[in-house]
């Protein structure tokens, strides 16, 4: 969190020992990074169901508004965090921190 402050992604009032930061505020730079639209940064190569059968991800018919919402970097980050897939998290966080 301190590093994010040093890189101007957020501001904070003070550190709380080594446990965290106090009164964090997302900066304009951080806001722009998270609300940017990007093509899918990471797509899982397969899907498993309850029977543990592995199949290729099916192509879905998605409305344009839902597709646009899914392309937001913040939503892609939320989805990979929810999936708990370390490779996906690495790809999305790397994209956020390296793309200008």
pLDDT (0 to 100) of residue 40: 80
Taking 50 as the pLDDT cut, the residues of the chain under it are none
Contact 95, 73 (CB under 8 A): yes
pLDDT in tens, 60-73: 687 888 888 888 99
Instruction: For residue 17, give the 3-state DSSP assignment.
Output: coil
Q: Where are the alpha helices (DSSP H) in the chain?
A: 2-6, 28-35, 64-71, 73-83, 86-98
Q: What is the pTM of this model?
A: 0.70
pLDDT (0 to 100) of residue 56: 53
């Amino acid at each position: 969190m301190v590093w994010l402050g040093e890189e101007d992604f957020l501001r904070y009032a003070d550190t709380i020992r080594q446990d965290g930061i106090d009164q964090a505020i997302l900066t304009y730079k951080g806001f722009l990074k998270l609300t940017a639209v990007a093509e899918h940064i990471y797509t899982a190569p397969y899907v498993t169901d309850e029977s543990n059968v592995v199949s290729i991800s099916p192509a879905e018919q998605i409305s344009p508004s839902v597709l646009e919402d899914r392309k937001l970097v913040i939503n892609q980050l939320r989805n990979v965090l929810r999936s708990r897939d370390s490779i996906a998290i690495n790809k999305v966080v790397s994209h956020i921190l390296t793309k200008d």
